[in-house]
Each structure stands twice: as C-alpha cells, then as structure tokens.
Structure 1
Amino acid sequence: MDRTERDEMRRLAADFRQWSRLAEGVRVWHQTVQDAAGSDERAMRTRSVVVARSGRAAWRVLALGASDRDVVRRLWERALLPVPTADDRALLRLLTGEVPRAVADVAPLLGVRRFFAGAARKQSAVTASDFLRGHHGELIAAGVPERLTQLGAPTNPLGPPKVEDLLDPMLRFDLLAERTSPAPELMDRSVFEGLPEALAAIDKVVAGEASYRSAARDAGEQVRRAEVHRILRDMPVDVLKTATRDRLRLGPLAEARIGTVQEVLHAGASLQALPGVGETSARRMIGAARTLWQNTYDEMPIRIDIDHRHPEATHLLRCLAEWDAYRQTRGAAADLERAAELAPLGATISRRTSHLLVIPTRGLAAAGLGESIRMVIRRAELLGMSSGSGRRSVPADPWDDFLARPADYFAMLAELGFVTDDADAVHGDLPEEIIQAVRDQALDGAHLTASLRGYQSFAARFALVQRKVIIGDEMGLGKTVEAIAVLAHLRSRGSTHFLVVCPAAVVTNWVREITAKSRLRPHRVHGPERDRAARAWLRDGGVAVTTYETLAWWESTLRDHHDLACVVVDEAHYIKNPQAQRTARTKEIVARADRAILLTGTPLENRVEEFGNLASYVRPDLTVDVTDLSPQRFRRQIAPAYLRRNQEDVLTELPELIEVEEWLPMSAADTTGYREAVVRGNFMEMRQAAMLQGARSTKVQRLIEIVREAADNGRRVIVFSHFRQVLDLVAQALPEPVFGPLTGSVPANHRQQMVDQFSAAEHGAVLVAQIVAGGVGLNIQSASVVVICEPQLKPTTEAQAIARAHRMGQVQSVQVHRLLSEDGVDKRITELLAGKRRIFDDFARVSDTADSSPEAVDLSEAELVREVLAAERQRLST
C-alpha cells in the first residue's frame, strides 16, 4: 500500500470512526429512553391497585400527581423516538460491530508499525481495508450520515407534558396496552377529595366496636359480681362448715358478729386476729368463702330485672346500647362494603394526588367507581365521622330502650356468652352425627351485622352442613336472620348471587332485614322496578328478593344463571301442593341452586303429607313414608333436612316482647279505595282503606296468615283496630272461633265475660277489639299474638294495648304484628310520629308530668291530619 492509498484509508477510517460514534450514540440513547420509560411503567403498575366490586376485580386504579408529569415526558420521549427500519437496524449493527473491528484491523498499515507487522496482521489489515473501501461508497450513496443524524435527533412533544396525556394512544402506556370496554378514564380530584379521611373515619368506628364490646363484657361481669355479692351477703356462714366438711369452728365468727359469707370475705386476713381463730383457721375460712364465691359466680347468669334496676344493670344496658350504636353504623351494608373495597385505593391517595387513572377490568365504567367513592364519603358525613367523633347518641335512659326492644339486648348478651340456650332444645330432634357436624362447622360473620343467639347460629350452621334444608322454627325465633346468616357466610366464602322467594306481602320486610342485619345488597325484583333490579343483581350480585308470582316473569333468566349460590323460600307452605305452578317453578330453582333453605313456622305434627312434599324438594334422596307414621318416626326420617325449635325451649328469658313491623304493598283494590278517600279528603277513611276490601285486601290476607300460623303454634290472637267497620269485617273474614268485637259500647262487665270466654277457648281463638276499649283496663294474658291493623295517632295507645297481653302472668313470649301499608297514610303517620317522638323524647324521659300524663307527648291529631292529607294529595297528584 503506497502513501496515497494510506492517506485514502486514513480518511475512510476517520469517516467510519465518526459514523460508529454516531451509531453507538443512537443505540445508547434509544436504549436509555426505552429503559427509563419501561422502568416508569413498571413502577406505575406497582403503584396501581385493583378495586373490587362484589368480590370481583372491577377496576385497576393509578393515583397520579404533579411529579408524574416527568414520567409522561419520558413516555413521550419513547413514543417520539425515530423508529428504525430493518435496514436501519442492520446499519447500526454494522457500524457498532464489524466496522470498529475493521478500523482496528487496518491500523497496522497506516503507521510506522507497518514495518514491524507480521505477515498475518498485514493480511488482516489488507482484508479490513478492502471491507472498508467496499462499504464506504455504499453508505455515502445511501445517505448514512444524514440517516444517523435523523435517528439520533430527539423530537419534543407539543406543549408541556400533562397526566391527561396518559390516555393518548401514542404513548403506548403499558397499563393501557389491552383495550377495555368501557374505555379508561381520568378522574380529577373533585371526585375523590376526602376519600382517605372518610375511610379512616369508618375504620375508626369499626375498630371502635371492639372497645365497646369489651366494655359491655366488663359491665356484664360487674352485674354477675354484684349479684354474687348480694347472694353471699345473705348466705349464712354455716355453709362454710358444709364446704369444709365440718372442719371449721364458727363460734368466734358469731362472737365477732360476722354472720354471712360476704362478711368473711370482707374481713379477709384480719380474721386471724379474732380470739380463737388463728392463722390456719382463718386461711381455711377465707379459702372456703372464696370457693363458694367462685362456684356461685360460675353458675350465675345475667339477669335484667326490670323491677329492681340496680346501678350495675343500668350501666350494662348503657354499654350494650353504645355497642349497638356502633353496630348500627356498620349496618349500612352497601356503603361499608364499598368502603372495604376502596381501602386499597385510599391508601394510595395523598395530598399530592391530582387525578386517578381508572381502567375497567370487567365491563364496569369508571362512573361506577366514582359512585362508590361518593357513597363512602356521604356515609362518613351522615354518620358524623368527618369530625372524628364517630359516636351516635344513645338513649338517656337505657331501660326505656331495653323495654322497647329486649330481643336485641338479649341477642347481644347471648353473643357475649351471658345468656345460654338449652343445648338439647337448640338441636331439635337431630341425630348426634349431624349435631356434631354442625358443631364443627364454622360460621363466618364478616358480612353479618346482627348478633345471633346460640340457637340461631346453630340453625345457620345446620343449613351450611346439610346444604338444602327446611327450618321450621316457631314464629318469632328469627328464621329470617338465620337465613341471612347463611347468605352472609357464603358471601364471605366468595359466593355472589342469592335469591329469596316469598309472598308479596313480606318482600319489603326481607329487603329491610337484609339491609339492617348484613352487608349483603338486596335487590327488589318485584313491582315496577323489577327489570332494573334484576339487571343490577345479575351484574353485581347480592340478594334478589322476588315473589312466587314474579318467578314466572324471569324463570328463563334464572334457568340460564348458573351461579345461584343459595335460594331461600319463605312461607314455604305456599309450595306444599306439588300440582301448583308456583310449586313447580320454585322446585326447579331449588333443584338447580347449590343450596336451599325453606322457611316455615308450621309445626311438623300437622299436615304430615305436605311436609313430606317439602322434604322431597330439598332432599329427593330421602325416603319418607307418610302413611301410618307417628310424629317421632317422621322426625327421624326427615331429620337430615329438617330443624324445628319452639320459643319456650330456646328463649330462656321468657316472657319476651317481639315486635314486627309488617310493611305490605297495597292491592289494586286497596289503592282504588285509598285514592277515592284522598280525593274526598276523608282522613279516617284513608286510614281504613287498606282493610276494607275484604279478601282483596293485602292486610286482610296477611292477618289471616298470622291467625292460621298462631293456631298451628297453639297461640291465641288479639286484633286491635281503631275502627268499628274494620273490626266487623275482620270478624267475618277470620276463621272461627272469633270473639267480639269488643268496643266502647260493650258494658264493662260484659267486656270481662268476653275476655274470659276468649281465654277459655281453644288455641287459634281470636279476640277482635277496638283499641281504645280493649287496650285499657283488661288483662288478656291468654293472648300471645297481638295484631294492630293500622298505626295509631298516639304512640301511648299502642303501648297500652300491647301491655294488656305483655304483663305479669304471661307465660309465652308476646308477638306484636303492626300491619302497615308501604305507601300512603300509614307511612306518613309512622314518619311523622317518629319525628315527633324524637322531639319529645327528652321531655318524656325526665318530666314527672309527662310520666303521669302520657297524652302530654302525643301528637296533635288535627296537626297530623293536616300534614298527612296535604302530603298524600301532593304525592298522588304527581
């Protein structure tokens, strides 16, 4: 190679070194931008959280702030990188791989070292020079220098980067790589402002329940200790001799005027100073007294004695009321379920968060997340938790609240272990192997907000173990909450869709009970909103509450739905006739559901053949011979599928007052009569309208059911109404025997005769009475079921009427059924009286005048008439 060739090669090598540096810069820059954007994407994915709806992932959400604009800038840099073609990639590989090696190999021919190079290196240099000459012209002709400049030139985005740019498809943001429907959205801060604070406030209340429960338990222990103290205070010291097998000399105690076991405990170690006692005797006396104390304490149940209101019992009731107040805040089932679902998101939101990127994962639009956030924030505000207190008011006198709803208090005491059930009665007639399996079954209460009695918990666990069952507990034992507990447990285990089939008259009660006693979401698939409710249930899950008649409307939908975790059939005697259409429809759903619970208060001993039908619906595998069977043998045959307990067996604190508000829909005939009364402005006719249609009246139909079930359960019924016309109609509509009507026109001596005849009559007898007459001055303990046909204008009127049956001498629990129409005057009166009652509560509780004159706290009838009539006219005119 001569000098000219060497100069040419030096020039070519210089060009190649420059192009290689440019190529390496392009490669490094592209890789750096890609790595930075990829790292940002991974970090954002890690920061994002999944928000669930009804137990299933619904959205992936990423909290964004001002600092994320730098991320957006880096994503833009990646998006705007010049895109290399296949030729570009080949060129870069050439310039960063083979070319640098060729330039290095040709170096020995270009300097003084060429004189010292060996033959092999010279040959390599010649080959490299040929390689460089061959490619240089091609690269120049292809415009490589200009292309390298283009590949290495960054392009700036239009304007400053914004977090909103993440939605731009050009960014190719990894979290948005999969196309979703609906499309991802950005929420600004106005939507989620205050969410972390609301979640923290709700968490505080939920956590606070534990402290209130503990306080109630401690208060219960104080009641037990106080009762033990009172017993030992009256226990003579002579029992110490029995406890120590006559090894104690008690003469010195008598001389020291220590006459009771409690006085021995009070004296303690000072006993050894008494003449004739000594250290050993004192230790034995104290030990025996402490043993008696412990044995008495261990066997001491909690007693709430309304005739002796000891301070420690008052304190216990107040602690229970405070605990229950927190439990009621948790009763906002849907809101608190949303709060739990939003908790992971709340933890990612800070003061610097400006937006949320919401990416749907299963077809729910971002608006659904926004609605959940608003629900939780609104719930926190409504509960007064934004201020940090989270505390609800409790009654000034807890005894009033206890007397108004003793069942709730006894349920809480049972949950704390202070009220125990008769174990044998709790089990009904079940065989031992099933009893043991039920005992071993756990019951998850995470989605249940009500306290369960022991027998109620047993029924729920029985249904879980046996999968498809009949629960035949007597009226008033809480079959509804037993079924809800099963659904709540299944929800905790991941199930989402449940169905309740019931008569139309109790749809409202089911919806209310589900809301009040669980975190499950009810859907009323009945009436004008049934289409919307059915779609919401299919989409989101929860408890669909429907009627036997409505099953015909959506049975095809249910047939196609394969995730029905449990169906509850209320008033199951409706399907005892296997030939009825509603029986066929219900039976099909029971067969397809994973689990089923049939509820009926009808005793086993009656209608054995129909009970056999019910048993076959839930357990077709059971062989039940209904011919020539004794009840005991029949029980044994259907024991795997049937559980029944009676009130007297499991409610050890009887008598108890059980009050049920039965909100009923108006029939078409009821509605027509009611509208006519409103048009005429006849308030008293409006109050009666829902009862005057006879067999076409929903209230009358429900009344007949109550009376029949009472007869089956060996109970007598008293029916109260303000109106003589209603009483006459009721007396005609009800099955015999019916006594009355007992009205103000019946002479006083005849009234008592009527009550005596009623009390001597067979079970199922009904006394029909005008509430202002039969509700005052008579003792009717023989009745244990009270029905009030319409809300009274004075709360004290109802209280006095109920007191006729719920009083000393009553050996059965008293069930009070208030028949109330969902719309119309009943609802208006109830709402107005509730408001007025709250206003007058403080006055009524502390005023001697109010206590001695109940009418002082009643609402003016003229005022109520004006308000109700005006409200109803406005409602019906729209």
Structure 2
Amino acid sequence: MIDRAGEAAWRVVPLGKDDTDIVRHLRKRAGLPMTTSDDQALLRLLTEDVPRALAQVARGLGARRFFSGPVKKQTADEAAEFLRRRHPTVIEADPPRRLERLGVITASVDRASAGLDALLDPALHFSLLPGPNGPKPELLDRSAVDGLTKALDTIDRILAGEDSYRSAAQEAARQVRVADAQRMLAEMPIEKLRAATGERLRLGPLTQAGIRTVQEVLVWDTSLRRLPGVGETSARRMLGAARALWQTAYDEMSVRFDVENRYPETTELLRRLAEWDACRQTRGAAADLERATELAPLRTAIGRKTSHLLVIPTRTLPAAGLRDSIDIVKRRAELLGTSSPSRRRRDVTADPWEDFLARPADYLAMLSELGFLTEDEDAAHGDLPEDIIQAVRDQALSGEYLTASLRGYQSFAARFALVQRKVIIGDEMGLGKSVEALAVLAHLRSRGETHFLVVCPAAVVTNWIREVSDKSKLQAHRVHGPERERAARAWECDGGVAVTTYETLGWWESALAEVRNLACVVVDEAHYIKNPEAQRTIRTNGLIARCKRVVLLTGTPMENRVDEFRNLASYIRPDLVLDATDLSPRKFRRQIAPAYLRRNQEDVLTELPELIEVAEWLPMTKPDATAYRAAVGDSEFMQMRQAAMLQGRESAKVQRLIEIVREAEANERRVIVFSYFREVLDLVAQLLPGPVFGPLTGAVAAGRRQQMVDDFSKAEHGAVLVAQIVAGGVGLNIQSASVVVICEPQLKPTAEAQAIARAHRMGQVHSVQVHRLLSEDSVDQRIVELLAGKQRLFDDFARVSTMADSTPEAVDLSEADLVHQVIAAERQRLAERAAAGD
C-alpha cells in the first residue's frame, strides 16, 4: 500500500511470469457460461442432493435391509420418496440438454489471452480491482521501477549526511520558541496564575518578595516554598500554573524573523540554517523527498522475478500518478548524486541577517521543511470546528468548468461553502475571494446546476464579468445598464452567471422571485448590506432566504465591526448568532465559525513576499464622464488620462481609493499612492483619511525624499505616501508599505514595474497588494489594450534576462504613436455612441 498525506493512495501488486497461470485460471473461470437460478438448482440437485439420497436408499436395499436399524430404514424410505417426487420435475426440465449447454466453454483460453494485462479486463472479475465506476487501474512494466531502489538508497545516504546540520537547525528553532515564550511570560502579571488554576491563590507573598511576572515564578522554581507565607501546596500549585502557561505559550509560538528586533537566538537560528543550507544537497527538494518516503515500501516489495506492477488507485489520484512519482524520485536522486555541496557553500561566517534579507523565501522554506511553519495549514481552516474541517477535507471539488488554478486555501474555502451551503467568506483583501466563489459555481455546474447570480456594487461589475470569462467556462451575463433586459432574458433561457447590482435588484426583484432553479447566490462586498433596514439589504436578504446556497464575500475583519457583522451573519445562520455585547470578538467568531471563514494573507501566503495584482475596473460617474468627453473633444490626451481623478469625492476612482486606504488601516497596512500627475497627487493628499505624506515629486530634494519615506515608515497603520511615479518609483526602498495604488495606467510598463519594486523587494515581510485604478470605456482601457502585447513581451524578457531594466526602450510603445491611436479611437467611439443616442 502506498500512502500520501496519511491516506492510502495506491494498492500495488508485484507480478511475475509465474502469475500468468493465475490469470489463465481467471480467464477460464470468466469463460464459463452464465447460469440461471434454475441451472444452479439443477446442478445442486444432480451433484449433491441426488447422490446423497441414492446413498441413503442403498442402505434399505438388498441384504443390508435386514441389518439396518429402524432409523436408517426410515431415512432410506424418506430418501426414496424424495427421488420419486423430484423425478418428474427433472425429466421435464430436459437435464441432458441443459447439462450439455453448461458444459460448453464460451471463450477459448490461450497464452495470448492469458497475459498479465488480462487482469485489467473487467470480465475477469478480479477481486482487487474497483468496480466499473471506480478509478482506472494500470499495469506498469518492470522498467518503470528499474533504478528506484538505487535512487532511494542515494537519497537516504545524502539525508543521513545532512542530519547533524538539520538537527542543529531544529534545536536553534526550538530555542527561538523558548525565548519568545519566556519574553511573553516576562510581561505576563502573576495574576494570570489564578486564571490558569481556576483556584484562589494568595499572591501577596510573591508581591512582597518582588515577584511580578509569571517568568519570575519559573526562575524561582522550587525556592518559592521558602518564601514567608507560601506553603508546600501553594508553591506547587503556583509553579504548576506557571509551567502550564509557559507550555501553552511555547506551543502556540511561531518562529518568525523580526528584522526590527534581532534577538541573539534568532541570529543563531539564521546561522544554523545557513550552515545546513551550505552543506545540504536537498534544498528545494522537499516535495520530491516526500515522494521518496511514499515509495519506500516498493523497495522491499519488488523482487528479482517481478516483471510488472498492477497499480490500483484507492482514491482520486490516478494510477499514472505513481509512475510520475517514480520518475520524479529517480530524477531527484540523479541530481543529488551529481551535485557537489562545496559548489553551493555560502560564507556562513558573515552576518546571517544580510543573507536572510537577500533571500528570505529560502529561509522560510527551510523552516517549513523543519516543521516550524505547519500552522499555516491550520490557518487555512480559520476557526472552524474539527468536524467541519474533516467534512470539508472529504468534500470533492470538480474543476471541470474552472480554468484557473486554485491555491490550497482557496480550494478549502470553496469546499467549505459547498459543505455548509450558506456561508460568509471574509478573507483579507487580495486573497482571491472571487475565484473561491467562482470555484463553487463551477463545481455546482459540473453537478448539473445551471443558474447562478452575483450581486455586487456597480464598481465591480466589470471585474466580475472578466473573472467569470477568464477563469471559468461559465457564461457571464451583465444584468446592469442599458442592456439589462436582454441579458436577463438570455440568462433565464441559457443559464450561466448573472452579474447584477444591489440597485438593479429593485428592478429585477419580481422576475427573480419566479426563477425556481437558482442554484447559488454570491453577494460581493457584503458589508453593503449590514444595515438591516436598508432597501438593498431587504431585497438581498429575500434572495438569501429563497436560495439553497449563498456565499457572502467581505474583506472587512469581523473583530473590527462586531455589531454590524452580527447582522450580516444573522441573514444566513440566525441560530448561530449570540448577543455580541456579552462576548469578546474571538468568542463571537467561534460562535459563528460554522458559517464564517476568515484567513489573513500572512497566515496562508508562506512564500513571502507575495505580489498580488488587482485591476480595479470602475464605471465613470457623471462628473467623470462630462470632464472626460470635454478632454477628448479638445484632444487633450493628458487631461483624458486624469479626468476620472480630478472630480474629487464625486470621482469613482477617488471613492475606491478611499475604500482601499480604510481597508488597509483595518488590516494594519500602509499605502503608497502613485500617479504621473502632480494635480492628482495634490487632490489625493487633501482627500485621503489618516496621516498623508507627500506629495513626493521630482522637485523634492533627494535627502528630503528619504526623510519623507522614513517618517512614513514610522507612522501608524493606514498612513499614506503620495508619490509621483517618475520620482517615488525609482531609487527608494519602502518596505514598510504593503499596499500600492496606481491611479492611472502608465505609458511605459517599466515605470509601473519599478514603482511596485519599491515595496515588493527582498526584506519585505508582508505580501504586497497592487491596485490599478482603471476607468471603463475610457483612455485607460485603450492604453491597457494597446500595451497588452508589449507588456507580455516585457514580462517574458524580464524573466529570462537582467537586461530588461537597462533597456526599457526595447519594449515600451512610442508615446507619440500611442497618443495618436488613443485619441482617434476615443473620438470614434464617442461619436458612435452619440449617433446611437446613448
């Protein structure tokens, strides 16, 4: 049996030439004619019942009848009577003809038809094979495992050589957890001892002795009983409580590299990891080594006479997956056998923090291999109870209609929604809540459901249309705007995903009430319906009540707005919601955990720093559109680019920007806002909430620029640095920011890439979110379309060559050409719209 992730993945049967006799026997058995129940009764009568009755009758015949007792005579008489009764029935059934038919073999058996591959024939009814609806087995030739034993031996030998370094790194990591636990207890007052024991303890003697913290209790240890007023029993209880608190702190403590507080034990851990990394040949091979562990049972199962392997899947993994694992392990062993540790050795005598800042992802990967980042898998479960977690794990997720790849935590969220039916997914912004919900819809489509509905603010309708079209095979319908009636009819007729707005629900409400096959409703930006008295809440809540499956999406952390969230949760699971005034946010979260899943980026994105890019396509408001049309009429290209930002609080882009900043504050993040235009930056600096630094422009002296960045980095969460992209995007390191907003598409892709690199760089300890503010049906869309080809070229070029940064002119579109094309296209589009009366 081959296990994967603690579960049986494949059953493997080694086979040799001698096993062909078994196959031939199975083939002969399969060639026997099919028998009916009457046939079976006749055979049983002729082979069992009649011979037994004849033997009993014989005891009552001839001379033996004189020596038989009364019991045997009675038995003989009963047997004779049995034969007399059955004789007419048997004669009527024409037994000779039936026996002749049953004696005919329906299929010939020769060596060709009795080869080992015949085991895969369902007609043989081989008991180890799954049924017709089960996973498909496969017969592998011996050559598939040739060299596997040698490969496993090579890997074992290399791992043994690295073991001492690995063990030293593990111990160093353990010491980091010990020190962190001690620091936590050094700040924990001794009053916590009472809570830990649930008993009344006299702490006065400790205070009189100058003992203030739980850690000091541990330092005193058994000497506590020597203090005046502390007896043997009290000392034992105090010390036991302190040790329990320490153990809890240690168990829950994660190993992290804090660049702001470089503790000696953390420095030692980095040094030990560097030493292990310098000598080891298995770096980056964690997944391959897992495969080697899986295949270890094959080493003893395969003998010299083995010619084939019958691979029988026991779950969703195909039989071909075993062959792939074997190839992976053999390739990894070949690489390890030819690599030289000395060629990869680093200077471990240097400052390990410098090496960490240069490649933090490598160190995090090593911690993961050592088992000190295992809490990340648990974080994907949020606060869910264990029974729900197990149910989610067991839930299948079909990707038949999904074209996007899901991360593990995204798959978990989709399966959670399928298991619990009506849920709130509250993942932090940037984790991909929309694709999680889309995975739910795609799975339901694979199960025969056809009609799905997304309700969202008008500003994200375009994003949803694009998500559905780009990441699934489902048909998207924009039930919003001038074409809403046609789109609604098409959706009702053909099915797919209807994307509509809270406001449009008022128009569509009565028609939706008649839709009986609505399989799932997705409510995006669900905090819009936290007010139960609002009309959009009443309409949406009506849909929630009628539909059997509902997914509410909101990135607002629950603990920041418990009262509002209580309302939101009550729409889908009123039975789980208690009075929030009597509960701490954490307890409240646990109460509604069966319906609520929340994960933060730092919990599930372990390969830091992660770059998450979001295109925020926004409709123009009326003031935006008026200013934009005027700029197009005057052929003012630069005014066209910034028109959608200069209308202040009436601008859709400004409104979205304010939302991003507020959400960043709630998630304890800082923001950089980039624009090409000084007028936009001045306006943004006036309107944004929280502390705002800048504008940082080309007119600011270099020394002052760095001071501005330093002040911004020391500011509280929610702080904003406003910077001109041609100035702030070059030469500055701004790792303290983890949210980047670009107000308009730039004419050179390299400008955006360099600006993003100010925050997304080695040493960044947060994932970086990039929000591009884009206006629908505008110059933004034209620029994006025209630069799409050049952007792809730039990406390909930059991935394979460091020359990209030094030769941006090789991939940037001529600004003069772009301006000419955009103005011409926009004039034509607006003219056509005016002619159509729009």
Question: TM (normalized to structure 2)?
Answer: 0.56
Q: Please name the residue that 2:519 is paired with.
A: 565
| Match status 1:503 vs 2:457 | yes
Q: Deviations over 1:527-567 (max 9, x none)?
A: 11111111101111111001111111111111222221111
| Match status 1:531 vs 2:485 | yes
Q: Deviations over 1:800-851 (max 9, x none)?
A: 0000000011001111011111211111111111234456778777888655
CA distance in 1, matches of 2:380, 2:800: 42
Alignment of 1:184-203 (within 5 A): none
Q: Deviations over 1:421-474 (max 9, x none)?
A: 833111111111211221222222221122211111111111111111111111
- Selected match of 1:462 from 375, 396, 416: 416
- Selected match of 2:390 from 413, 417, 436: 436
- Selected match of 1:868 from 798, 801, 822: 822
CA distance in 2, matches of 1:871, 1:231: 66
- Selected match of 2:775 from 804, 816, 821: 821
- Selected match of 1:732 from 664, 668, 686: 686
**Structure 1 residues 837 and 470, CA gap change in structure 2 (3 angstroms):** closer
CA distance in 2, matches of 1:843, 1:240: 38
Alignment of 1:509-524 (within 5 A): 509-524=463-478
Instruction: Report if the CA contact (8 A) 1:526-1:546 is conserved.
Output: yes
SS of residue in 2 equivalent to 1:714: coil
Q: Please name the residue that 2:540 is paired with.
A: 586
Q: Please name the residue that 1:671 is paired with.
A: 625
**Structure 1 residues 480 and 239, CA gap change in structure 2 (3 angstroms):** closer
CA distance in 1, matches of 2:740, 2:499: 27
Amino acid paired to 2:467: E
Q: CA deviation at 1:232?
A: 3.6
- Selected match of 1:635 from 580, 589, 606: 589
CA distance in 1, matches of 2:795, 2:428: 35
Amino acid paired to 2:563: E
Q: CA deviation at 1:588?
A: 1.0
Q: Deviations over 1:707-750 (max 9, x none)?
A: 11111111111100000111111112211111111111111111
Amino acid paired to 1:461: R
**Structure 1 residues 420 and 565, CA gap change in structure 2 (3 angstroms):** farther
Q: CA deviation at 1:301?
A: 8.0
Q: Please name the residue that 1:207 is paired with.
A: none
Q: Please name the residue that 1:749 is paired with.
A: 703
Q: Deviations over 1:841-875 (max 9, x none)?
A: 78777888655232342222112111111111111
**Structure 1 residues 789 and 298, CA gap change in structure 2 (3 angstroms):** closer
Amino acid paired to 1:641: A
Q: Please name the residue that 2:244 is paired with.
A: none
| Match status 1:703 vs 2:657 | yes
Instruction: Report if the CA contact (8 A) 1:525-1:544 is conserved.
Output: yes
Instruction: Report if the CA contact (8 A) 2:454-2:499 is conserved.
Output: yes
CA distance in 1, matches of 2:385, 2:746: 48
Q: Please name the residue that 1:598 is paired with.
A: 552
Amino acid paired to 1:451: S
**Structure 1 residues 543 and 749, CA gap change in structure 2 (3 angstroms):** same
Alignment of 1:416-455 (within 5 A): 422-455=376-409
Q: CA deviation at 1:298?
A: 6.0
Q: Please name the residue that 1:806 is paired with.
A: 760
**Structure 1 residues 673 and 608, CA gap change in structure 2 (3 angstroms):** same
Q: Please name the residue that 1:661 is paired with.
A: 615
Instruction: Report if the CA contact (8 A) 1:707-1:764 is conserved.
Output: yes
CA distance in 1, matches of 2:396, 2:722: 46
**Structure 1 residues 536 and 301, CA gap change in structure 2 (3 angstroms):** farther
Instruction: Report if the CA contact (8 A) 2:569-2:577 is conserved.
Output: no
Amino acid paired to 1:604: M
Instruction: Report if the CA contact (8 A) 2:566-2:577 is conserved.
Output: no
Q: CA deviation at 1:238?
A: 8.0
Q: Please name the residue that 1:691 is paired with.
A: 645
Instruction: Report if the CA contact (8 A) 1:845-1:851 is conserved.
Output: no
| Match status 1:471 vs 2:411 | no
Amino acid paired to 1:439: R
CA distance in 2, matches of 1:834, 1:514: 20
CA distance in 2, matches of 1:231, 1:827: 58
Question: TM (normalized to structure 1)?
Answer: 0.53
Q: CA deviation at 1:685?
A: 0.2
Q: Please name the residue that 1:486 is paired with.
A: 440
**Structure 1 residues 841 and 658, CA gap change in structure 2 (3 angstroms):** closer
SS of residue in 2 equivalent to 1:689: helix
SS of residue in 2 equivalent to 1:831: helix
Instruction: Report if the CA contact (8 A) 1:654-1:812 is conserved.
Output: yes
**Structure 1 residues 847 and 473, CA gap change in structure 2 (3 angstroms):** closer
**Structure 1 residues 674 and 429, CA gap change in structure 2 (3 angstroms):** same
CA distance in 2, matches of 1:842, 1:600: 35
Instruction: Report if the CA contact (8 A) 1:421-1:455 is conserved.
Output: no
CA distance in 1, matches of 2:397, 2:549: 16
Amino acid paired to 1:640: P
CA distance in 2, matches of 1:587, 1:241: 56
CA RMSD of aligned residues (A): 3.3
Instruction: Report if the CA contact (8 A) 1:470-1:641 is conserved.
Output: yes
- Please list every run of 5 or more consecutive structure 2 residues that lacks an aligned counterpart in the other structure: 1-135, 137-143, 169-279, 291-360, 362-367, 833-838
Q: Deviations over 1:608-647 (max 9, x none)?
A: 0001001001112223211132122101211111110111
SS of residue in 1 equivalent to 2:646: coil
Q: Please name the residue that 1:645 is paired with.
A: 599
CA distance in 1, matches of 2:682, 2:728: 15
Query: How many residues are matched?
Result: 494
**Structure 1 residues 741 and 840, CA gap change in structure 2 (3 angstroms):** closer
CA distance in 2, matches of 1:480, 1:552: 24
Q: Deviations over 1:362-403 (max 9, x none)?
A: xxxxxxxxxxxxxxxxxxxxxxxxxxxxxxxxxxxxxxxxxx
CA distance in 1, matches of 2:533, 2:166: 71
| Identity, % of aligned positions | 75
Q: CA deviation at 1:235?
A: 3.9
Instruction: Report if the CA contact (8 A) 2:455-2:524 is conserved.
Output: yes
| Match status 1:552 vs 2:500 | no
SS of residue in 2 equivalent to 1:690: helix
Q: Please name the residue that 1:375 is paired with.
A: none
Q: Please name the residue that 1:796 is paired with.
A: 750
SS of residue in 1 equivalent to 2:710: helix
CA distance in 2, matches of 1:570, 1:685: 33
CA distance in 2, matches of 1:800, 1:496: 44
